[in-house]
Amino acid sequence: MSDEGYCTTDGAAKPQAADGPPYAECVLCREPTEYPESYRGITMCPRCEWQEAQRTSCSG
């Protein structure tokens, strides 16, 4: 059997996307995210979010 790095990120609760600006900034690169500024917690832009997901889901 082969396990070619098949990773899923199911189970991760995603915050709700904002309807419009102002958006919260990414905690990593300060780019605007798709989350509302009022969102409490860690907000990451799609790119950083993806990178984090790769890192956390594929490490081991």
By C-beta, is 7 or 46 nearer to Zn ion? 46
Check residue 29 for interaction with Zn ion (CB under 5 A). Answer: yes
Helix extents (H) in 1-60: 46-58
Look at the chain and count its residues: 60
Check residue 26 for interaction with Zn ion (CB under 5 A). Answer: yes
Region of 3-11, 13-21, 23-31, 51-59 interacting with Zn ion (CB under 5 A): 23-31
Per-residue CA distances from 9 to 19, 20, 31, 53, 58 (Å): 24, 26, 23, 7, 10
Which residues contact Zn ion by CB under 5 A? 26, 28-29, 31, 45, 48
